[in-house]
Structure 1
């Protein structure tokens, strides 16, 4: 049976019949030359049975025992994309994850999971369950988790894997904790590397956005000695360079609100002219003053609201720049007739950047920094201070007696905040595998060792040292030596370079993660059943994880003016045992062409979160040759990550409406009484919708648990050769999901119910402003999701006008419910058909990709359609993000007579220049980067040669 592509080529409605796809030729059948090993690299048996992702027992790769999607090098080449992560994120079953469209450092702080911002990283998230619940393997073995230089992530950075080493990717869309252990709740992404190659393979791809920015370069090379002789090896490397796209160069991101042409309430109160809530007044400068000029009270006027706010939007990146260098080596040596040694080595370095608007320097009790900046005193002797001594409180007076509440000044003189990341990855594996005969049956064994090391460094430019700022704002008598008095009052241009040099500092953060793994596996046949051989696989695995995050000493001391952070360090180890059975009960009988039962059990003992046992069972039934029915039940778990366990308190900024705010709907009745009792003065107006939320790790966390069901059918009618249709229904329930209590919930419980426990986690300033809301991570949430995948594939025979192929893959999301604690006990949040806003994630009810392929002799073409159904914003319910249908096109020419095999391709992605829908509640740039393309057409040319 020939290969039938079906997938990253997934559908875009019936329109895909006309406009197909270059999203990647995902296929539900493996390539014809598939030859993966158990967790090593053993050869397939003479009968062709191999190990395919989702099981450790050898089987026929065409059996389609589980819902697996295959993406190989040819599929990736048809997309014009420069990262395997971008290709995988186009799968209809993928929810996105971190990618190069994220530009979040310094804008919203660190997420509550202890993993840091992850700037420049690339992650894959299946079924909208988060990248931490999708297991990433390389040749069946675990890969080291990312290092973000802002925390300790619990996910793999796919940017750390050189694309030139990838043979194909197998995506299991089913739970597999009983087979592989923790994290395989939503599915498994198994990256299969090149084990054999004869000669040289070189690829060059160049691309650019139609606007003239976002240019890319992708160079790949690999060479192997073929499969003759006892020693086989493949070595290679790649270099990828991606240019930036500025938010100021796209209409959608010119202002914080999509479609706006001027500032509104979403703009920042940290302005170049400054905002001064001092001595009972709310002021700003009339005009900036020349450098060195001392302001007077006559230079200020009343704050006017939106028109005085600062537009921070044009300073960000829509696409972040990066460079990736990678080299790899794969070798295999036949030690004896039935014993093989194989080893793999990978080195990869990523250099990436992101950018934010110039630093908003906030000082005073209502600033909400949580450090010295909130209590800083501005002395009357400061030569630029027209207001007299401004104090956060008077240490000589027992009562809180501030004379100013807030001063905000955008330090535009220092330029944008810039973040430069450098991430280095080392990864190596060694495997000894072989086979032997026992009781007349073939048995296969392998032992594996893995070491992975990820180290990241991040340098930030544009931060301010609060201790130096205190000296520069304080009594002039104390500002000696290198100290230069700081002018926070004079507006744009009044902060000189000498002032910046004294208060500013270069922030240097770092983090690293290490993984050590040892595993041993044994598989073979036990006895004959009516349908075939009863297969067994057993094994043992030990893993050791360690990680740490070290912020700059100035930041760790609480003296930074950007995102606060403290050092994090931790680790854990795990021992696991598993067993798997495959029992073919019947075969080749009427109504029972095949009846096969499968089962697996895994026991895991974690030093951090105790022990657990998970089970999986499945059935495969072919009532007739053309139809396969299958079903599975799986139990899963996810052990808490290092960041979740040991992450120190961090801050992220969440948009929250204070119920005590008199500005919109003034509080009344019991709510007003509670606000008054909690120290909120009459007429209180919330200064800033972004509230500091403080959260951190929790060493008492338990593992998450899950239950999953999959029912599927594959129909390949013999009367229509090369045609198949597949449908898979899935349902997943996650219990004890790790999450912090939503800050909105905590605030409402405090204000509306006067709950003492909740109020203990809400800190207000003397003027009633919310300084921060606190909450540790807990096992408090549950998630239920249900949906259907439908995949169709057809390829014609060769005709006089060529050969045609069509694939159409769809994912329908029926339900996605999150259950979290609320004021009334438990709140059900239904996500299907919505956009949740920051953190950005759309949950469309229908996603599809369709591909139409044509090949005639040395020429070929692909047309791809990608469809995303409309969603509504939950935080801006009157805004609908309309449906999007992207079209990609590629033309190809092949010359087998030149250098053995030469291919050239021209392509364009987003052919009809569809912009992403505007999103009000999304974090940056007014669109959801997990779901939609960068605005504009992308043009590329690709050439490859094999020699």
Structure 2
């Protein structure tokens, strides 16, 4: 579609072709007469803007009603949607992200405290979220300008149902609808009041979740009003309280723990050898064939408040001296959400109504990480010259070595963990405002009914984050420099990073430890107008259409703390981001009946849709969609769609300034932590300046990320085909009241996908090929360690994925034992390939775990409902198939299940959930419910490559995850 990229005329021509298409249909089927056909009323369909009650679209829609939502026992829309079989990896409360993951390259920040939805494993950025058919504003978490929707900004209490369209829908809804659309329908018609109370906690006695929902509504002949309020509080769970998450990588002890310790790790070249700093042979460097290499620390837990003596008080730094940062992490992050919502409707007459909606929501959440490490020297790999190029004065009163430690001469790395400053605590406050008003109406012209609506909406997410426990690297450098220069600065006192824990005094902390405050916001303003009716009649029925116009304006900004902007922040730094853009769109949708009551079947309908979008940032784009729905017989329907779509680069992706992500990367030129030989070619490693025997001192490498104003829109193609079968022998039979089978094949192709090449893949390809394409952004210190890594956004090559959805619904006849209903949903992923623009294959694929996300080949959810009188019960089974991951440096440990191949198997897992309820006929009804999720207390499979807590938080329940809950709903 590149020829249409900036050509509105060409797009208009294609729209006119769509309008002309019904003439062809008339010529092909002049002999048919219009008759009514039986539709499959058990199949819920959406994904169309045509206002015609009997119209069914060509794509399956998964609908979650309030009963389905309440059955999960969850209190977040995002977490409910993440249990769908077609969902991929997305953020939730189990991600303790701030301070650990750093900044992603898309400029969206870390999304701390948010809950997102991913469909078809294409990423949350490629899912469009609507509320009552209107776009919702993107997230804001005070760390960037987000590209995804935070579903925690929408209270679950206001939801009537959720419709999930798992198909490309850019022609109907515009950008972002590549993987699908989530449409959240709010509660509207409600008479009376309702109070809902819920409480739950985990079997270990922690992670309590409590909430209160209030609803009130009334209606008159001409008006209706609904008011709702919600409060949810989630308590934390600490990683130290679960066996699986107590160490960085389960089964490896301290091997993957940090080299930044409370006692410090000191790597430098000494003037003379000693027992602590022996001579090391460096034959590959003729200028210094033998050097006195120090890699030392002081004994664990030993403090030297009076000053440490060199070399007598020092020992070699070995694995037992590493610091276990994992026990400070959170396994479940705490949050508190408060929301209010109101919706008022007035009917001026039978044909015109006015509505107004307003929402206010506040989320307060917390992430926590271990005390922030201070890395100094060229192999500290922070990317901050204040740390990487530091000079520690020999005159510092706490320096035990008696000479300058100079990054340009003898200093390799210092890692010190100031536990005196406490853990890093990141507190977010996100305020959401939403206002929507419009007119909805209809009118008659002759025998035709016309439906129209005009809408205007404004929404805003504003976030503030306060960070306690980080450091000022500029002040650290001053405090480690010449004491006379430090004395000339008000408040500066020399810093002791050489003693053990407790030797950094409150006066020292007052100089080096600030409170860091960041802010960000996202705003969306939009106006839409839609019109729908019948055009004319064909032999098989009426040709229906919908058309409309939409205007949207996006504005976003990220304002980090001034300390960050001037480059003095010791943590993960970033720079300000701001930008805006707008878009004008028009669309047309047609439903064309091709034949009815034919020898070929009961009915065949063709749908055509096209949308032209004109962006202020990159120009125009036209996206068509074609669909067929063939009702072969009363109980069998075939359907298929083909759609083209796009996703425009967002503010963060376009304008996101340089930021840093601290990633766990394994250098192929390094000896493994378990002593395994380097994976990379010795000759290539030598060419990169890596000496023989090199061992990577710090596996957490700082990677520079950021936006790219030259980005183009992503292009997508989507195809689906399948059938719905409701056999006659399964309806009103002795064994079945209703029996439906739904099978859908899907295929998505995304070209020019906006993302960065996987950093580990880039590093591996650099060592393997020495190609500047991969090595150009990676720099190394003279000692061989990586001290710079640039990994920016680009229009990556192609993402291709396909698979099958297979769903079964079976309603049993009612008997004296009650009524049973079985639903069984399955998703099978057949292919997932991501290939970079230069042909580099990314590691993701079916059955593979990588980068804290997975693509199971098979996910399945089965639910059995039972009702008898006032009693209800449900049993749910959730299955996730086996996965495989690369062991990385953990290959040397028995926890790696297949050491010969360097891979680890994450076994398949099946969770069981149960719920029972009873309704009391008191007032308008009191519903009491008790439930237990993860009945058999299954722990997730151990993940060796995951960043935190030893498991994939986007795929599995937490370790020790048996969760019980109680709920009471009173209507009056």
Question: Structures share a fold, TM > 0.5?
Answer: yes
Q: Secondary structure at the match of 2:729?
A: coil
* Equivalent in 214, 221, 224 of residue 217 of structure 2: 224
Q: Is the 8 A contact 2:495 2:504 kept in 1?
A: yes
Q: Distance in 1 between matches of 2:917 and 2:849?
A: 38
- 1:124 positional shift: 0.4
Corresponding residue number in structure 2 for 1:442 = 449
Q: Structure 1 pair 688/50, CA: closer, same or farther in 2 (3 Å)? A: closer
Q: Secondary structure at the match of 1:698?
A: coil
Corresponding residue number in structure 1 for 2:694 = 684
Q: Distance in 2 between matches of 1:806 and 1:578?
A: 40
Corresponding residue number in structure 2 for 1:369 = 382
Corresponding residue number in structure 2 for 1:18 = none
Q: Structure 1 pair 126/917, CA: closer, same or farther in 2 (3 Å)? A: same
Q: Is the 8 A contact 1:286 1:299 kept in 2?
A: no
Q: Distance in 2 between matches of 1:58 and 1:623?
A: 24
Q: Secondary structure at the match of 1:252?
A: helix
* Equivalent in 234, 243, 263 of residue 254 of structure 2: 263
Q: Distance in 2 between matches of 1:214 and 1:746?
A: 39
Q: Is the 8 A contact 1:275 1:303 kept in 2?
A: no
Q: Distance in 2 between matches of 1:860 and 1:362?
A: 58
* Equivalent in 804, 820, 826 of residue 836 of structure 2: 820
Q: Distance in 2 between matches of 1:698 and 1:686?
A: 31
- 1:555 positional shift: 1.4
- 1:291 positional shift: 6.0
Corresponding residue number in structure 1 for 2:633 = 624
Structure 2 counterparts to residues 149-160 of structure 1, below 5 A: 149-160=142-153
Q: Distance in 2 between matches of 1:107 and 1:230?
A: 55
Mean CA deviation greater in 180-189 or 717-726: 717-726
* Equivalent in 426, 431, 436 of residue 419 of structure 1: 426
Q: Distance in 1 between matches of 2:225 and 2:141?
A: 32
Q: Distance in 1 between matches of 2:197 and 2:719?
A: 43
Q: Is the 8 A contact 2:160 2:185 kept in 1?
A: yes
Q: Secondary structure at the match of 1:492?
A: coil
Q: Secondary structure at the match of 1:651?
A: strand
Corresponding residue number in structure 1 for 2:824 = 808
Gaps of 5+ in 2: 1-40, 271-292, 732-737, 889-901
Corresponding residue number in structure 2 for 1:695 = 705
* Equivalent in 517, 528, 540 of residue 526 of structure 2: 517
1:933 aligns with 2:953: no
Q: Distance in 2 between matches of 1:146 and 1:173?
A: 22
Structure 2 counterparts to residues 8-87 of structure 1, below 5 A: 53-60=46-53, 63=56, 65-87=58-80
Q: Structure 1 pair 616/941, CA: closer, same or farther in 2 (3 Å)? A: same
- 1:340 positional shift: 1.1
- 1:61 positional shift: 6.4
Q: Secondary structure at the match of 1:124?
A: coil
Q: Distance in 2 between matches of 1:758 and 1:818?
A: 17
Corresponding residue number in structure 2 for 1:234 = 226
Corresponding residue number in structure 2 for 1:253 = 245
Which whole-Å deviations, capped at 9, do the CAs of 1:570-601 have from their partners, x for residues lacking one? Answer: 11111111000001222344442121000100
Q: Structure 1 pair 799/745, CA: closer, same or farther in 2 (3 Å)? A: closer
Corresponding residue number in structure 1 for 2:290 = none
Q: Is the 8 A contact 2:58 2:640 kept in 1?
A: no
- 1:750 positional shift: 4.4
Q: Structure 1 pair 290/267, CA: closer, same or farther in 2 (3 Å)? A: closer
Corresponding residue number in structure 1 for 2:930 = 906
Structure 2 counterparts to residues 187-206 of structure 1, below 5 A: 187-206=180-199
Structure 2 counterparts to residues 546-565 of structure 1, below 5 A: 546-565=555-574
Q: Secondary structure at the match of 2:728?
A: coil
Corresponding residue number in structure 2 for 1:276 = 266
* Equivalent in 108, 111, 124 of residue 117 of structure 2: 124
Which whole-Å deviations, capped at 9, do the CAs of 1:421-480 have from their partners, x for residues lacking one? Answer: 000000111111211112420011111111011001111111111121122212222233
Corresponding residue number in structure 1 for 2:32 = none
1:318 aligns with 2:308: no
Corresponding residue number in structure 1 for 2:867 = 855
Q: Secondary structure at the match of 2:311?
A: helix
Q: Secondary structure at the match of 2:469?
A: strand
Q: Distance in 2 between matches of 1:736 and 1:465?
A: 39
Q: Distance in 1 between matches of 2:699 and 2:515?
A: 29
Corresponding residue number in structure 1 for 2:470 = 463
Q: Distance in 1 between matches of 2:766 and 2:70?
A: 55
* Equivalent in 231, 235, 240 of residue 243 of structure 1: 235
* Equivalent in 886, 904, 909 of residue 911 of structure 2: 886
- 1:52 positional shift: 6.1
Corresponding residue number in structure 1 for 2:781 = 765
Which whole-Å deviations, capped at 9, do the CAs of 1:86-133 have from their partners, x for residues lacking one? Answer: 111110011131100000111131112111110100000000000011
Q: Is the 8 A contact 2:300 2:321 kept in 1?
A: no
Which whole-Å deviations, capped at 9, do the CAs of 1:5-50 have from their partners, x for residues lacking one? Answer: xxxxxxxxxxxxxxxxxxxxxxxxxxxxxxxxxxxxxxxxxxx999
1:112 aligns with 2:116: no
Q: Distance in 1 between matches of 2:870 and 2:941?
A: 39
Q: Structure 1 pair 513/536, CA: closer, same or farther in 2 (3 Å)? A: same
Q: Is the 8 A contact 1:626 1:716 kept in 2?
A: yes
Which whole-Å deviations, capped at 9, do the CAs of 1:637-672 have from their partners, x for residues lacking one? Answer: 111111111111111133333344366677899x55
Q: Distance in 1 between matches of 2:104 and 2:232?
A: 28
Q: Is the 8 A contact 1:426 1:453 kept in 2?
A: yes
Q: Distance in 1 between matches of 2:42 and 2:353?
A: 18
Structure 2 counterparts to residues 265-344 of structure 1, below 5 A: 266-278=256-268, 279=270, 280-286=293-299, 288-290=301-303, 292-344=305-357
1:653 aligns with 2:623: no
Q: Distance in 1 between matches of 2:242 and 2:83?
A: 23
Q: Distance in 1 between matches of 2:782 and 2:354?
A: 69
Mean CA deviation greater in 580-589 or 499-508: 580-589
Q: Distance in 2 between matches of 1:736 and 1:821?
A: 8
Q: Structure 1 pair 452/386, CA: closer, same or farther in 2 (3 Å)? A: same
Q: Distance in 1 between matches of 2:679 and 2:824?
A: 56
Structure 2 counterparts to residues 380-529 of structure 1, below 5 A: 380-393=394-407, 401-480=408-487, 481-529=490-538
Corresponding residue number in structure 2 for 1:704 = 714
Q: Distance in 2 between matches of 1:843 and 1:631?
A: 25
Q: Structure 1 pair 343/305, CA: closer, same or farther in 2 (3 Å)? A: same
* Equivalent in 873, 880, 884 of residue 885 of structure 2: 873
Corresponding residue number in structure 2 for 1:725 = 741
Q: Distance in 1 between matches of 2:54 and 2:114?
A: 33
Mean CA deviation greater in 128-137 or 497-506: 497-506
Q: Is the 8 A contact 2:653 2:708 kept in 1?
A: yes
Q: Is the 8 A contact 2:465 2:517 kept in 1?
A: yes
Q: Is the 8 A contact 1:288 1:493 kept in 2?
A: no
Structure 2 counterparts to residues 126-165 of structure 1, below 5 A: 126-165=119-158
- 1:847 positional shift: 0.5
Q: Secondary structure at the match of 1:700?
A: coil
Cα RMSD (Å):
2.1
Q: Is the 8 A contact 1:537 1:580 kept in 2?
A: yes
Q: Is the 8 A contact 2:295 2:317 kept in 1?
A: no
Q: Secondary structure at the match of 2:477?
A: helix
Mean CA deviation greater in 313-322 or 77-86: 77-86
Mean CA deviation greater in 272-281 or 757-766: 757-766
Gaps of 5+ in 1: 1-47, 394-400
- 1:683 positional shift: 4.0
Q: Structure 1 pair 831/938, CA: closer, same or farther in 2 (3 Å)? A: same
1:88 aligns with 2:81: yes
Q: Secondary structure at the match of 2:939?
A: coil
Q: Structure 1 pair 52/235, CA: closer, same or farther in 2 (3 Å)? A: farther
Corresponding residue number in structure 2 for 1:738 = 754
Q: Secondary structure at the match of 2:380?
A: coil
Q: Distance in 1 between matches of 2:395 and 2:568?
A: 23
State the TM-score, normalized to the length of structure 2.
0.88
